[in-house]
């Protein structure tokens, strides 16, 4: 029996929902995971209830969160995941697992009712984290932008996760998977390297 997952799509400009769904379906075909997109369901809440798991893809984080509020499924997803339903998110889909979307890299193309997100982990996330600065680029680095966040909210940790890495949570255990370091920002702690394989369970409080 294939594992049935619901895919929440939110990229409104760069690619249409059906094309995105086809890409994800093709990528997961060998894993025997049956993916359907929430945009094809007349009753999104029922679809989430009946799914074995939830996947949330990439795109614009502001638009994604706005859609979750518009469809009134933000709390439902949170409840189902807290009850044990698997959740996988990448890019914007990982951004919304934190307390809020205040540390996203995206432009605010829409204004959601709130920046508050799923809160599946009690800290902020910054996907696609990189400390690279192109020669001749005089704008802020990612680290400088996250420093700005920690200056106004010094008590909330931010974890920057690089390409090819993931945070894996199972109950009260949290670890870093992949082949690159992550970085922690919190108060006076700035860009503290987190080695691959680290146990980050202490960040769960």
Active-site residues, by number, are 91, 106, 128
Beta bridge partners of 173: 170
CA gap 59, 16 in Å, rounded: 11
76 SS3 class: helix
The residue whose two tokens read 């400088």 is 144
End-to-end CA distance of the chain: 37
CA gap 162, 137 in Å, rounded: 20
CA gap 181, 131 in Å, rounded: 11
CA gap 102, 124 in Å, rounded: 8
């Amino acid at each position: 029996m294939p594992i049935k997952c619901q895919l929440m799509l939110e990229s409104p400009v760069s690619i249409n929902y059906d094309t995105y769904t086809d890409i994800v379906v093709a990528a997961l075909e060998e894993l025997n995971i049956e993916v359907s997109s929430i945009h094809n369901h007349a009753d999104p809440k029922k679809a989430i209830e009946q799914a074995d798991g939830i996947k949330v893809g990439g795109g614009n984080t502001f638009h994604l969160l706005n859609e979750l509020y518009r469809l009134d499924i933000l709390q439902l997803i949170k409840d189902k995941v807290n009850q044990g339903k698997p959740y996988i998110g990448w890019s914007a889909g990982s951004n919304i697992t934190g307390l809020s979307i205040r540390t996203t890299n995206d432009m605010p193309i829409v204004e959601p009712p709130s920046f508050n997100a799923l809160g599946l982990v009690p800290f902020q996330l910054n996907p696609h984290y990189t400390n690279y600065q192109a020669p001749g680029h005089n704008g802020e680095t990612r680290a400088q932008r996250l420093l700005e966040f920690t200056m106004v909210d010094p008590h909330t940790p931010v974890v920057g996760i690089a390409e090819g890495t993931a945070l894996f949570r199972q109950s009260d255990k949290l670890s870093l998977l992949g082949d690159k370091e992550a970085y922690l920002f919190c108060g006076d702690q700035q860009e503290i390297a987190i080695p691959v394989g680290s146990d980050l369970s202490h960040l769960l409080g």
